[in-house]
Every structure is written in C-alpha cells, then in structure tokens.
Amino acid sequence: MPSVKVFFAGTQLPSKAPSTGNGRKQVFQVKNAVELIAAAKQYKDGDVIYLGPGMFDFTEASVLEFPLKVVLQGTYDLKTQTGTTVFTGRLGHQPVIKLTGKGSKFLNIRMKGPDTSRRTEQMMKLYQTNEYYSIPNSRGISVMGDDITVSGCEFFGWSEAAIYIDEAKGVEVMNNYIHHNQREGLGYGVCLNKSSARIYYNYFDWNRHDIAGTGRTGTCFDAQYNMVGAHKSSHSFDMHKIMDESIRKEIAGDTIIIKNNWVYVKDQEFVRISGATRFYVSIENNQMVNLEKKPIKILRATGREKVVGNRQLKNNAWVKNIKRGDIQ
C-alpha cells in the first residue's frame, strides 16, 4: 500500500495566500491562537487569513466561527507533515472551528484532536448503562455553508468527527490525510447531514467510518479517487437509514456515488448502505485488495443501484465485475 508521502507526492503548497476572487487585498497574518481569534473578529467578507507555521493551542478557547467568506491558509505540507498545527487537549471540544461563509476555503492546516483511541470496551460498557455520552466527544471543524473547500489538511484525534458537514451544499473535501478518528460508536472521518459533498483524492486510515451520512433527506456524497487504508473497526463508507418525517418514509439518503477508489480494508466491509436511497447509488470501478468479507452491503436494494466494474483481489488474482449476487 502506498505511504502517505507517496500518495500526496504530487501536491504542492501555494506560493502565496490565494485570492478569493473578489479583488480584495487584505491579508491577515497570524502566528498563534490569540491572533487568529482576533482576526476572526476583524476580517471582512472575502478576506484571507494566513496562519504561520507554528502551534495554535485552542484548548481553552470557545468555538471559533467564521460567518463570512474567508480563506484560512496555513503552511502545512502533507509530504513532510510539517507546518501549521491547530490543536486542542479538551475532550469535549465541539467543534474547534465553524465555517459558515459561502465559498470559504480551509487550506493546508493540520488539525490535531484530543483523543485518537477507540475505547471499545469502555464505550460498550457505558452504552449498556446509558452513560455513553458521559465521556465528551470532539469535532475538528463544522462546515455549515455552501461551496466550502477543505484541502491539503491533516485531521486526526477527533472522537466524533474530523469534518462534520451540516446542511451545506457543494462542499469539496480533497487531498486530505484523515486518520485516527475512531471512537467506538462514533469515529467519523467525514460526516454529512442534509448535505452534499465531493470527496476526492483523500487518504483515509484508522477511522471507524471514513465517510458516513445520517441518511436524512438531502444527504449525498460523491467519493472518488480516495485511498482507504487497512485499519478500521467497522465498514469504510456508510449511509445510515432514518425515518424521514417530512416524507413519512424510511430512507438512506438521496444519492451515493462511490467510484475509482483503492481499498485495502481486510476484515470489514467497504460499503454499507442501511436502507433505500431516494434516488440512486453508483458503485463503480473500485479496486479492493484483500477483503475477507463481501465488500458491499446494500440493505433494501431498490433496483436503481449501479454496481459495475469493481474488482476484488483474492489470492493474488483479480476477481472482476463483482455482481449483484456478490452483494450481501
């Protein structure tokens, strides 16, 4: 399996903070959490905030919200794994940063959370006594505006979700390293609720679910050209089912596209869709290495699912064109 450095070998840091496309010239340059908090109070719609290469400690800070369009540009380099690092030591930080300005960009920033562990036995015992949430959980960033881009970043240590996309459309999550977000019962790399996102060219590993949707009306994702590592405690790409009261029907999201991904999961499913989607599912041309389980599970299939061109490597030989009969 390619290493993180090999996978991101083609990425390049911008030579300067990018323009937001509206002609504004103002660029804030900040070197710590205090200065970033100050800039968040002063910036205007479309401004750029450039985060220096240091450590930004948000352990004692409240949620930092950016309600207007902004470019948050760091110096983090996925190849060398050095540069801007935003972190918290507080288990219940929910989230550290909230982006609501349409068209905002979150670029080249390392987001280090407070808890990389699964806590499997502990959380299962707490669940049995209705005390599951007695241990706080954390979230890296909340994306709550349309057309927001998250790119060139590393996310790890977020017990609920690294990136939570809530009631937002046209979000892009690209060229990120998302790993060790894996608390038992939660542990999402990217989680979507009533949102749509393109999730391309990311490296996922050590997450409970790499991508998950709540299943509510409007929840869609298009996941292509991602690398999925071998380490996880549950299936990789997931869509929950839910009773949608607005249409009085149990559904599992609107549309799901999963294409051209390389998958190294061994003892878990690659895809699980827990109900019937409203529109369609497309699972095509994925290369799945060393899976021991049936890789794709669609519960309550409707016949609108397109599953073609996927290959599974078994005993050093490719099994081509996984058929409907191979889907549990």
pLDDT of residue 217: 93
pLDDT of residue 13: 61
Q: How confident is the model at residue 65 (pLDDT cuts 50, 70, 90)?
A: very high
* 111, pLDDT greater than 70: yes
Q: Where are the domains of the chain?
A: 4-326
- Choose between 299 and 168: higher pLDDT: 168
> What is the maximum alpha-carbon separation in the chain?
59
How many CA atoms, within 13 angstroms, populate the side-chain half-sphere of residue 160?
Answer: 20
Burial of 262 (C-beta count, 10 Å sphere; 0-12/13-18/19+): middle
* 143, pLDDT greater than 90: yes
Contact 160, 114 (CB under 8 A): no
* 139, pLDDT greater than 60: yes
Residue range 138-147: mean pLDDT, rounded: 98
Residue range 305-327: mean pLDDT, rounded: 62
Of the candidate ranges 6-10, 63-67, 215-219, 324-328, the one whose mean pLDDT is the lowest: 324-328
* 145, pLDDT greater than 90: yes
**Model pLDDT for residues 146-165, shown as the tens digit of each residue:** 999 999 999 999 999 999 99
pLDDT of residue 262: 92
How far are the Cα atoms of 2, 30, 79, 97 from residue 54, in angstroms, in the given order?
A: 29, 10, 17, 17
pLDDT of residue 212: 98
Pick the CATH number of 4-326 from 1.10.3470, 3.40.50, 2.160.20, 3.30.60: 2.160.20
Q: Name the E strands within 100-169.
A: 105-107, 110-112, 139-143, 149-151, 154-156, 161-166
Q: How confident is the model at residue 324 (pLDDT cuts 50, 70, 90)?
A: very low
